[in-house]
Amino acid sequence: MAGTIPAMAPSRGMLGSKARRQVGVVLRVSPAVLFVLLAIAVPIGLFLYRAIDNSELHDNLAGTIAVLSDWNGSDPLEDRHYEALASDLRALGDGPRLYQVARQLNYHKAGYRGAVLKASEAIRKGGAQGARALIEGADPAWRDQAIWRVIRRESGVLTPFFVLAALDLEIDDNGIRNADPERALYREVFSRTVWMSLLIAAVCTLLGYPLAYFLANAQSRLATLAIYAVLLPFWTSLLVRTLAWIVIFQKGGVAASAAQIMGFGGSSLLYSRPAVLTGMIHVMLPFMILSIYAVMRGIPTSYMRAAISLGASPIRAFFTVYLPQSMPGIGAGVMIVTILSLGFYLTPALLGSPNDQLISYFIAYFTNELVNWNMAAALAVWLLVFAACLWLVVRQVGRG
């Protein structure tokens, strides 16, 4: 068509300038990405890998595992099996690798640690007897095929044992089964962790929404002071805030005195579920308020006035116009509060009883006290799974 100006193709200079800008952006963000990978992602990944790591048995009992590969688990054990075990124990000596093997087997059944250490000592001392007589004489457990079946079953580099144990499941030659009810613990702890996190998110929503609405729509000096009051907890140590609740809830404290005045008795509220919930809500409430407030600040007040001018009552205008627009803030706040509450450690540890501890307490216990990093990693893996599931659910509900 006459007079039409043809579209200009980008020149090489323009393409080169765009490529240089993209390269510049990559170079600027690469140090931060590298730091995140090296300082955060890699250590967390290596720690979580311990949940399925079985290298301590696979590498240190390689000879025994090799000769057990053709054993069906029920036929009588042969002398070559004992000789292979004796050879592995001699190679381990009395060093740390021996204790790693003993500890790893003891996770499967109490007493196996002593059996390994006694057998190792008997082999090192030696004697006129053969390997079979030395090992069986060291501890009666070696006469039972159960410990040999455990070594055969745990022959791989990876193991599902700890991941299953973190959900009160056990694995044996017959498959996966529920653990003994007397030893089952972690399902209840995970359930407690999830429902307490959701309860805290719900209470924070009910308490935080009205305050966020006031902060977003009020123009008075009081609103500015309220903003500072919301931000004040971020300038105070979490430990200090938790210790303050200890002073309030202890016997003779403010809470106990107020309960006594109202006729409910003056017993201490410390080390109880209400104390844990109160302390956690106190910590999480600012996150909920700020999440909702950030969304409410972008909602024009003219929408409410327009709805009222068209005949809607203030209450109906709020629920049909204002509340739906603030839902993204509620969704973000619920997500943040719930996921942060899943990993709470300090507040339940200081304010709660043993029956009020969340799963993070047991992760820390296995890491620092028992030095069972496999179990700690397995609990952390399931905690990560539950957090991801809650995130997906909240995100889907928010979209709906």
For the stretch 113-163, pLDDT in tens is 999 999 999 998 886 678 899 999 999 999 999 999 999 999 889 999 999
Give the whole-angstrom CA distance, residue 196 versus residue 358. 9
| Whole-number pLDDT of residue 398 | 62
Question: Is 36 within a domain?
Answer: no
Q: Quickly count: other Cβ atoms within 10 Å of residue 276's Cβ.
A: 24
Question: Is 168 within a domain?
Answer: no
What is the chain's mean pLDDT, rounded?
87
In the beta sheet, which residues pair with residue 144?
none
3-class DSSP state of 400: coil
Question: Is 175 within a domain?
Answer: no
Question: Do residues 287 and 363 both lie within one domain?
Answer: yes
Question: Is 226 within a domain?
Answer: yes
Question: Do residues 202 and 97 both lie within one domain?
Answer: no
How long, in residues, is the chain? 400
pTM of the model: 0.85
| Whole-number pLDDT of residue 3 | 52
| Whole-number pLDDT of residue 270 | 84
Contacts of 140 (CB under 8 A, 6+ apart): none
For the stretch 220-279, pLDDT in tens is 788 888 888 888 888 888 888 888 898 888 877 777 777 767 766 667 778 889 899 999
In the beta sheet, which residues pair with residue 259?
none
Question: Is 7 within a domain?
Answer: no
Question: Is 166 within a domain?
Answer: no
> Which residue numbers in the chain have pLDDT < 50?
1-2
Range of the domain at 307: 186-399
Question: Is 9 within a domain?
Answer: no
Question: Do residues 359 and 224 both lie within one domain?
Answer: yes
- Going by DSSP bridges, is the β-strand pair 175-178/169-172 parallel, antiparallel, or unpaired? antiparallel
Contacts of 43 (CB under 8 A, 6+ apart): none
| Whole-number pLDDT of residue 271 | 87
Question: Do residues 215 and 135 both lie within one domain?
Answer: no
Question: Do residues 267 and 359 both lie within one domain?
Answer: yes
| Whole-number pLDDT of residue 264 | 64
| Whole-number pLDDT of residue 399 | 65
Question: Do residues 311 and 360 both lie within one domain?
Answer: yes
DSSP assignments along 333-366, one per residue: HHHHHHHHHHT--HHHHHHS-GGG--HHHHHHII
Angle made by CA atoms 41, 47, 49, in degrees to the nearest 5: 100
| Whole-number pLDDT of residue 311 | 87
Number of domains the chain is built from: 2
Q: What is the CATH number of the domain that holds 203?
A: 1.10.3720.10
HSE, CB side, 13 Å, CA atoms: give it for residue 214: 15
Question: Is 25 within a domain?
Answer: no
**Phi, psi (degrees; rounded to nearest 5) at 241:** -65, -40
Question: Do residues 312 and 391 both lie within one domain?
Answer: yes
In the beta sheet, which residues pair with residue 146?
none
Question: Do residues 141 and 190 both lie within one domain?
Answer: no
Question: Do residues 247 and 339 both lie within one domain?
Answer: yes
Question: Do residues 375 and 263 both lie within one domain?
Answer: yes
Question: Do residues 138 and 201 both lie within one domain?
Answer: no
Structure tokens at 27: 């170079």
Question: Do residues 75 and 193 both lie within one domain?
Answer: no
